[in-house]
Structure 1
Amino acid sequence: MSIAWKQVSPTRWQRPLTGIEDFLLATGNAPVELYNGRQQYNIFSKLKVEINVPDVESALRHAWKQLRYEQPAIAATVDGERKVYETPDEAGLQQWLSSTFIVSDVSDADSLLSTPIRQATLYYLPKISELILRAHHYVIDGMGTVMFWHCLMEALVSPNKDLTFGNEYVRLSAPLDEALGYTGPPTAKQTQDASAMLTTYAQSLPSIGLVSAIGKAPATDCHNTEHTFSRETTGSIIAACKEKQISVTSAIQAAWVLMLVKHADPSSNRSRYTTANEYNLRPYLPSPHNAPTSAVGVYYAPIPFTIELPAPYMEIAQALNSNYQSTLKDNPETVNLTGHYCHLVAAMAKSPEFKAAPVSTDGLVSSLGVIEKYLRREYGGDAVKVKDFMLGLDVVLGMSAFFMYTFYDQLRLVYSFNDGYESPEKVRHYLEDVERILCEELLGLRSS
């Protein structure tokens, strides 16, 4: 079966879902019937911006249109087990613009979370000068979202007035399998190795988890709680990580694990921390799949990690660091395995056994690194200033999420959760504890 985009009518292009897209679709659709169309793990990202261009609303609408022209996958939808793109005529293009570019007078971006979306949607909130992207996770991933904002800001300050739709399909981002260079079905060894990786993960569950009402109460409101470190603390933590030869990601996740130990649900398995670490695959893909021009795609893999508990902080940090450093780097065999592995993950997520199993309550961990690596603070001189960035997920039914990244020289932590399962007060305390543990373990600063 062909994995590439294929033309099936004069205006329609389609291809099979990749394994990671299939997994995200199955996960996302799980709560739809229960919660009025709301989906698990939709991307929710916002920029605080200062825009100094004539007619800001019209300029943003054109930039959104231009981004679709340059990266048409932003308008892709799903039909069954296929991803679909329709080349629009003028009427179709205007209908898409009117339904996916929304100017709202709300003063709180979180108020948008309760409304289901049909396609990736861009909101402009002029009262608070924020831009919001809401998109299905099977359309775009976390690093892709950072790149998306860069591409949108570029389009805003460098508008292309000659957008003639009809041939934009040539710029549809390639599916992960194609980007990895797959030309046929997996070999017997690849199937065996991918199955062994998934089996190891499944046999290590359940993991230590937080107190949660998942399975005991209905979902209510989604939240993305942010915790920002001072520049001084951020600089000290980064310096300490360099001295101890561990990545900042490993250091923060190790603090996360100790926070889990402190606040663990007594009924959870407190003897083990097992998770699926999120690996951005873009650095391992050839051009153009590794570039911002392919921002609108899903190029990551959740690869298992486990460690027995209790364990001291540095042991956990060093184990995580070793895992992050060795799993894919200089390891092309595992990189090439990720696409096949993700197909098995999708099959597991759709199995009756998985659906019946208790939901993990430890939070899915994801690092975006230094945001300025892809998203600048200014565009077009003084035309656009990016004042702040946030990325989170809609959590409706299932595991919460924990993001970490640095922007404006400050570490940012974001915990995405649902207040039907966890209380906002406790979540704020969790994030404060992560910073406290980092300061104690890396800087020797003991709180009174």
Structure 2
Amino acid sequence: MATTWTQTSPGVYQANLDGAETVYRKTATVFAPLKREHWRLHTICRFNFGPGYNGPTDKETALRQAWKALRYEFPGMTVAPDRSKKIYKTPDARTTKEWLEQTFFVEPKRTADEIIAEAVPLQEVPSLYYLPATSEILFFISHWRIDAMGSWMVTDRLFHHLANPSKSGLPKVPPPNEIEKISPSLEDAAGSPKVSTPEMDKVAADHIAAHHRNAIQMGGMPYKGDAITLPGSPKREAVIFTRESTQKVVSACKARGITVTAAIHAALAETVFAMGLPESREHDYVTVMPVNLRNYLKTPYNGDGHALQTYAGSITPRVPRHATFAKRTSYLVEYYKTRYDPKLIECLRPIYRYHAEALFKPLPAPAAAPEGTPATSNGNKRPPPGLPSGISINSLGVVEKYFAGKYGDSVDVATFTFGVSMITRQTMLYVWTWKGELTLSSEYNAAYHDPEEVREVMLSIKQVLEKELEIEQNRKREVEEQKEQP
């Protein structure tokens, strides 16, 4: 089901932002007055040319050509938001050249982390930075127009174009019918009816009510500042397992019939119980967990040809406080399998409509405190109501499933990093495996958390994994066996 575009003037088309797009767009604009964009996605890759590369030897020139080819492949790159609408303008030679100049940047001095941390206005169009000093690219894109998996697939296509430059060159003007290639919204791609039935409305309302009821119970972590502390720069800390350690985690999970995602999720819960705010230690651990919905969409929307869209949902698993690691992981494995079904996919349109209404409805005025009540602060420990400081987990799986990283003998990607700008007190824990190495990567805001604190959380997760999966015991046993050998 294609999105309906209406021509409002010669060469200018508009369509409504659908429900999922609206949720992510409004979330991005919350901190616009502070020149911050919440949940702006970024991908960082260091690459090198191989012996088989036959394009321009100058990397800047080659990347410009690949970036332009990417824009021709995904015309949605030029779609601009306008309140509740999205606008597409038929390009010509001038606007195509201007787009390239306004979205491709060479950064000779700053690091990728420094660029990410800088306060910038909303990224109304995707952008690409080239860092010649480190041979890295930094791909920026707003979450309302893409999800994590999609951004990987788009980056993969960028490197594909870099490795396979067009011998005949690209035309100065994209084809006139390129609007037909713009990917439909999640709701349209899922075939969710424009007009829902009473049954669909009930399914959606019940789903969102349960979702928000669970979400507000997210455990909190200690944070710096108080209720009026303004956000600072988005930051990242990562813990990378060795290939040997990664393989031991994978093997131990397989032996127990659980997934690596469930094991890390349960280890995170145990860490929150141990290190979180007092109330987080007393109740079950609940988190909002993103879900890749591309697996639920029919061809062609589940492929890389429609990478440039937000085809994602979320779930709210509850990890029991008083349960063994084995019971927690088995519960999570089953929950992941059954949480989405064809009925929920059909109801995505009313689900996101109710979701937006619940998220953005005006907050009630706070009740006045009795006269004589002393002023209090959270003492850097207990957040006031409505200021969540929990940790969400997003397990992205094996990177190579969506992002090849090696393109014949022409281009090889040496390093891969993915993240999102966090402007709130919450932390996002990403989990992925790249080149056989498991990565825990935490995105946080420097105004509320210190890097040592964030790293301590991830090291705790690692320790819980090693203990519960008996990796440390097996390692000690191997060492003892080696000592006993003559």
Aligned length: 442
Q: Match of 1:278?
A: 290
Residues 116-172 of structure 1: per-residue CA shift (max 9 Å, x gap)? 233211111010111101111101110001101111111112233233313221110
Match of 2:170 in 1: 162
2-structure distance, mates of 1:237, 1:202: 33
Contact 1:264 1:270 in 2 (8 A): no
CA distance in 2, matches of 1:216, 1:258: 30
Deviation at 1:84, TM superposition (A): 1.9
Match of 1:118 in 2: 124
User: 1:251 is paired with a residue of what secondary structure?
Assistant: helix
Q: Distance in 2 between matches of 1:257 and 1:419?
A: 23
CA displacement 1:96-124 (0-9 Å, x = unmatched): 11111001113421111214233211111
Query: Residues of 2 paired with 1:398 and 1:351: CA distance?
Result: 21
* TM-score, with length taken from structure 1: 0.93
Choose the corresponding residue for 1:263, options 275, 281, 305: 275
Give distance in 2, aligned partners of 1:317 and 1:355: 41
- Name the SS for the 1:122 alignment partner: strand
Q: What's the counterpart of residue 49 of structure 2?
A: 51
Map of 2:439 onto structure 1: 412
Please give the per-residue CA displacement for 1:19-54, whole angstroms capped at 9, x wherever unaligned.
Answer: 221111121111111x1x211110121111113542
Cα distance in 1 between the residues matched to 2:146 and 2:471 = 40
The answer for the alignment partner of 2:386 in structure 1 is: 358
The answer for the alignment partner of 2:30 in structure 1 is 30
In structure 1, what is the equivalent of residue 135 of structure 2?
129
1:209-254 CA-to-partner distances (Å, cap 9, x unmatched) read: 2112363422112112121101111111111111111111111111
Instruction: Give the match for residue 406 of structure 2.
Output: 378
Amino acid paired to 2:402: Y
- Out of 57-66 and 155-164, give the one that drifted further: 155-164
SS at match of 1:395: coil
1:39 paired with 2:42, answer no
Amino acid across the alignment from 1:288: P
1:325: how far off? Answer: 1.1
What is the aligned partner in structure 1 of residue 481 from structure 2? none
The answer for the alignment partner of 1:17 in structure 2 is 17
- Partner Cα separation in structure 1 for residue 422 and residue 185 of structure 2: 26
What residue number does 1:443 align with?
A: 470
Q: In the alignment, what sits opposite 1:321?
A: 333
Q: Distance in 2 between matches of 1:290 and 1:56?
A: 32
Indicate the residue corresponding to 1:176 in structure 2: 186
| Distance of aligned partners of 1:269 and 1:431 in 2 relative to their CA distance in 1, 3 Å threshold | closer
Contact in 2 for aligned 1:349/1:355 (Cα 8 Å)? no
User: By how many angstroms is 1:267 displaced?
Assistant: 4.8
1:3 shift after superposition = 4.8
- Residue 261 (structure 2) aligns with: 249
Letter aligned with residue 278 of structure 1: P
The partner residue of 1:229 within 241, 257, 260 is 241
In 1, the alpha carbon distance for the partners of 2:365 and 2:192 equals 30
Asked if structure 2 preserves the Cα contact closer than 8 Å seen for 1:224 and 1:393, the reply is no
Aligned 8 A contact 2:43 2:417 in 1: yes
Output the CA distance in 1 between the equivalents of 2:165 and 2:471.
51
Give, as a single letter, the amino acid of the residue that structure 2 aligns with 1:209: G
- The 1:399–1:354 alpha-carbon spacing in structure 2 relative to 1, beyond 3 Å, is farther
Q: Which residue of 1 aligns with 2:223?
A: 212
Q: Deviations over 1:263-289 (max 9, x none)?
A: 101255730222222111111111221
CA distance in 2, matches of 1:398, 1:120: 26
* Aligned residue number for residue 66 of structure 2: 63
Aligned to 1:74: 77
CA gap of 1:300–1:269, structure 2 versus 1, over 3 A, is same
Q: State how far apart, in whole Å, the 1-side matches of 2:259 and 2:43 are.
A: 25
One-letter amino acid of the structure 2 residue matched with residue 49 of structure 1 = F
CA distance in 2: counterparts of 1:64 and 1:229, whole angstroms: 33
Q: Which deviates more, 430-439 or 164-173?
A: 164-173
**Correspondence 1:427 to 2:454:** yes
Taking a change above 3 Å as real, the CA distance of residues 105 and 171 of structure 1, as seen in their structure-2 partners, is: same
Corresponding residue of 1:195: 205
2:389 aligned with 1:389? no
- Contact kept in structure 1, 2:218 and 2:287, CA below 8 Å: yes
Q: Is the Cα–Cα contact under 8 Å of residues 264 and 461 in structure 2 kept in the other structure? A: yes
Segment drifting more, 8-17 vs 136-145? 8-17
1:49 touches 1:129 (CA, 8 Å); kept in 2?
yes
Give the conservation status (yes or no) of the 8 Å contact 2:152–2:403. yes
Q: Which runs of 5 or more residues in structure 2 are unaligned?
A: 367-384, 477-486
The amino acid of 2:449's aligned partner reads E
> Which residue, 395, 407, 423 being the options, matches 1:367?
395
Q: CA deviation at 1:182?
A: 2.5
**C-alpha deviation, 1:79, in angstroms:** 0.4
Find the partner of 2:343 among 333, 336, 345.
333
Unpaired runs of 5+ residues, structure 1, are none
In the aligned structure 1, how far is the partner of 2:276 from the partner of 2:350?
34
TM-superposed CA distance for 1:181, in Å, is: 1.1
Partner of 1:306: 318
Give 1:196 shift.
Answer: 1.0
Give how far 1:355 is off. Answer: 11
Q: 2:192–2:347: 8 Å Cα contact kept in structure 1?
A: no
- After superposition, give the CA deviation of every residue in 1:43-100 in whole Å (9 maximum; x if it has no partner): 1211111135422211111111111111111222210111222222211111111111
Q: 1:87 to 1:364 in 2, by over 3 A?
A: farther
Structure with max Cα Rg? 2
Matching residue's letter, 1:248: V
SS at match of 1:201: helix
TM-score under structure 2 normalisation?
A: 0.86
Conserved? CA contact 2:203–2:344, under 8 Å: no
